[in-house]
Structure 1
Amino acid sequence: MGIDTNDTPLGLTKQGHSCVRLHKEGRTLVIDPGGFSEQEAALGADALLVTHEHADHFDELRLRAAMEDNPEAEIWTLRSVADQISGAFPGRVHVVGDGDTFEAAGFRIEVHGELHAVIHPDIPRITNIGFVVDGLVFHPGDALTVPARPVHTLLLPVHAPWNKYSEVLDYVRAVGPTQVYDIHDGLLNDNGLGLFGRMLGAGGPGTGGAAHAHLDPGERVSLAR
């Protein structure tokens, strides 16, 4: 499957940690408004996607606030999250899994992946899905899933208990995007952000040609196609 040729501009606003807001034609899609993101991160969303049940990605109060703020808003997520919130919003919470495609508030979504990355062999793995939006940008959640299609922009989990720098770099090379933006950075201070910036930039061993950038919470960019 090739990259979507739709020419409609797609805007991205970085929120805290792993949360992003995508904007197109006056509609807003929010991914992973968890406990490390801003209290208002999900407000104003027309559609919400949640990759898995961990609290830094799924916060029930933030989702409830968004769903109550916009009675037309809907959520797409996996079973483990849907079971916790679907009762409050019947008909507005949809279960999806690897290989599914759907439209949410005018955005075309593909689902890739099934399991969270291994934190430690003694910790049971949970389910995790990633989302390709409009054939352009991929949010993998807490996994280093390589989608079975090209993507221009990769949202890269740079720091977590389940990854290390060599895996992060090799993941960028495996996906082969043109542009990389950091996510999953809520536990890093300025020193850590600077280190990852150097190692994934010109001072590192090379990302296979992908440009790397860090966005501060609230910073917005337009995604090229």
Structure 2
Amino acid sequence: MTGMDALELTKKGHACVRLTRNGRTLVIDPGGFSEADAALGADVVLVTHEHPDHFDEGRLRTAMEANPAAEIWTLRSVADKIAGAFPGRVHTVGHGDAFEAAGFQIEVHGELHAVIHPDIPRITNVGYVVDGRVFHPGDALTVPERPVETLLLPVHAPWNKFSEVLDYVREVKPRVAYDIHDGLLNGTGIALFERQLGPGGPGTGGTEHVHLAADESVSLTR
């Protein structure tokens, strides 16, 4: 892979990331816990599910109005909320779909949100593999039906616990895992996960664990 093909990953707070390659930008889950400008400048926006920390209608509308060529791919529950404002630019996807958007190759994996509590109905949730390399599972511990080098790891949520997070990393076996879904953690909590998922913990099976601060970027090269 050449330098021109390198993916730049930027953390935009909580569950949102930006991926940039060859001058094109893809944004996943610009929700209410991420930076206000998270979706601005995007050519492609992917949304995993309808919860407000992943889907903020106002931020999506601003991004779509700023770039008339921008398009959204998401599941039906989100598409139904915003498609009417942007005819032909909001696309509905589900598990097993694969498509190209702005030069990115995208696969859809997963169907349901993780269980928060048996009394809370489960909603739909999809994850996205981008360019066969980076997987964002949304609010689920979906194991994609293919190997991935980079896992965006939901470290903290009302629906998970540390043992599940660690076992998920071991099962997916990525080369590196970058934290997402950390918007409810303070510095003490972040340090705990860095320790437990790092050399001081029980072991990730060889996966490198990295915590990125908001607006911090890293180049993903092979």
Matched with 1:132 is 129
- Kindly report which structure 2 residues correspond to 1:195-206, keeping only aligned pairs within 5 A, or say none: 195-206=192-203
State the SS of the aligned residue for 2:202. Answer: coil
Q: CA deviation at 1:6?
A: 8.2
Specify the code of the residue in structure 2 equivalent to 1:93. V
Structure 2: how far apart are the matches of 1:6 and 1:104? 21
* Structure 1 match to 2:71: 74
The amino acid of 1:144's aligned partner reads L
Matched residues in 2 for 1:212 and 1:9: separation?
Answer: 20
TM-score (normalised: structure 2) = 0.98
**How much is the aligned-residue C-alpha RMSD, in angstroms?**
0.9
Query: Displacement, 1:224?
Result: 2.6
Amino acid across the alignment from 2:30: P
Question: 1:121 Cα shift?
Answer: 0.4
In structure 1, what residue type is equivalent to 2:177?
Answer: V
1:208-219 aligned within 5 A: 208-219=205-216
- Partner of 2:82, secondary structure, is helix
Match of 1:33 among 19, 30, 34: 30
Name the structure 2 match of 1:160: 157
Query: Using the alignment, how far apart are the partners of 2:82 and 2:50 within structure 1?
Result: 11
- Counterpart Cα distance in 2 of 1:160 and 1:104: 30
- Equivalent in the alignment of 1:47: 44
State the AA in 1 paired with 2:90.
V
Counterpart code for 1:75: I
Q: Deviations over 1:171-195 (max 9, x none)?
A: 0000000000000000000000000
Determine the C-alpha separation between the residues in 1 that align with 2:53 and 2:114: 15
The reply to whether residue 144 of structure 1 matches residue 154 of structure 2 is no
Aligned twin of 1:179: 176
Instruction: Give the match for residue 97 of structure 1.
Output: 94
**1:220 corresponding residue in structure 2:** 217
Q: Residues 132-179 of structure 1: CA distance to partner in whole angstroms, max 9, x if unpaired?
A: 000000000000000010000000000000000000000000000000
**Secondary structure, counterpart of 2:83 in structure 1:** helix
Measured after TM superposition, the shift of residue 104 of structure 1 is 1.0
SS state at 1:86 partner? helix
- What is the aligned residue count? 221
| CA deviations over 1:90-134 (Å, ceiling 9, x no partner) | 000000000000011110000000000000000000000000000
Output the amino acid matched with 1:24: R
Q: Tell me the SS of whatever aligns to 1:11.
A: strand
Question: Is structure 2 residue 21 aligned with structure 1 residue 21?
Answer: no
Q: Which amino acid aligns with 2:208?
A: A
TM normalised by structure 1 equals: 0.97
Match of 2:81 among 69, 79, 84: 84
* 4+ residue segments displaced more than 2 Å: none
Q: Which amino acid counterpart does residue 202 of structure 1 have in structure 2?
A: P
Q: Which amino acid aligns with 2:151?
A: L
In structure 2, C-alpha distance between the alignment counterparts of 1:209 and 1:18, rounded to whole Å = 24
Gaps of 5+ in 2: none
How high is the sequence identity, in percent, across the aligned residues?
Answer: 76
